[in-house]
Structures are given as C-alpha cells and as structure tokens.
Amino acid sequence: MNDVSRREGNPARNGAVFDPAEASRALGLTLEEFAPLLAKAAEEIRCRLDAVRQGVAEEDLRAVALNSHTLKSVVATLRAEAVREAAIDMERSAKAGECARCAGMLVCLEECVAELLAELDRV
C-alpha cells in the first residue's frame, strides 16, 4: 500500500488511531488491566522506531527489517492499524533491499508512530 492510499483509506487516518477499549477487549482484559501495558508498549515502540532510524541511517537493512517486524508485532497487539501497515511496508522494502525506499518511507512511519504515541499518552 502506498503512502497516499494509506492516508486516504486507513480508518486510523479518518478517526481514532488507537481504540483502547477495542484493544483491551481483543486481549480479554479490562481497561484497568490493560492500562499498565500501554506504558511498556510505548517504550518498546520508541525503542524500535529509534532502531529503524539508525538502521536506515547506516543502510543496515537487516536491522531495519528486524526492528520494523518487531514494531509491527507490538502495534498489532494494540490494533494500531496505521502503524502496523507502515511497519509492514518498511519491513518488506528492507527485505527487498530497497534502501532508498526505506529512507523515504521513514517519514510516514514516524508520523504514524507520533500519532499513536500521542493517543497512548492520553490513556
């Protein structure tokens, strides 16, 4: 999926980036049980995004793929679809050896993550 279709067609761009009630329900947790996990998730998301940035800067596509994959898994648990899709795109590009494309996609990934982190901070 390209950046334009993601922004136009992704429900997260047209509404909530993250729905804590839906995410907690999907895990079989109450909101009270789920809330403490969000700080850990936010910490991991920041860590993985930093690692992706470093991998892109160093043209280390193996690191980009690994950290994009891990980021994808963390945000999938939260049902944060925009970040998940951006991470999938980044991982695929890294695995395909598309260094320049990864560098270009980093802005989209950073924007999606920033929106998610802002939502997580509000919960």
Which one, of 50, 57, 55, lies nearest residue 71 by Cα? Answer: 50
Q: Is the pLDDT of residue 54 over 90?
A: yes
Tell me what the mean pLDDT of segment 110-123 comes to: 93
Residue 23: Cβ within 10 Å count: 20
Q: Which residues contact 54 (CB under 8 A, 6 or more apart)?
A: 60, 63
Residue 101: Cβ within 10 Å count: 15
Percent of the chain with pLDDT over 70: 87
Correct CATH for 3-122 of 1.10.10, 1.20.950, 1.20.120, 3.30.43: 1.20.120
What's the confidence (pLDDT) of residue 17? 86
Q: Is the pLDDT of residue 66 over 80?
A: yes
Encoded tokens for 118: 């802002």
Each domain of the chain, given as residue ranges in start order, spans 3-122
What's the confidence (pLDDT) of residue 118? 94
> Where do the H-state alpha helices sit in 30-80?
31-57, 61-78
Residue with tokens 């963390």: 74
Tell me the pLDDT tens digit for each residue of 7-38: 333 333 444 688 899 999 999 999 899 999 99
Tell me what the mean pLDDT of segment 76-92 comes to: 95
What's the confidence (pLDDT) of residue 16? 64
71 within 8 A of 49, measured Cβ to Cβ: yes
Tell me what the mean pLDDT of segment 67-71 comes to: 98
- What does the DSSP assignment read for 100-123? HHHHHHHHHHHHHHHHHHHHHHH-
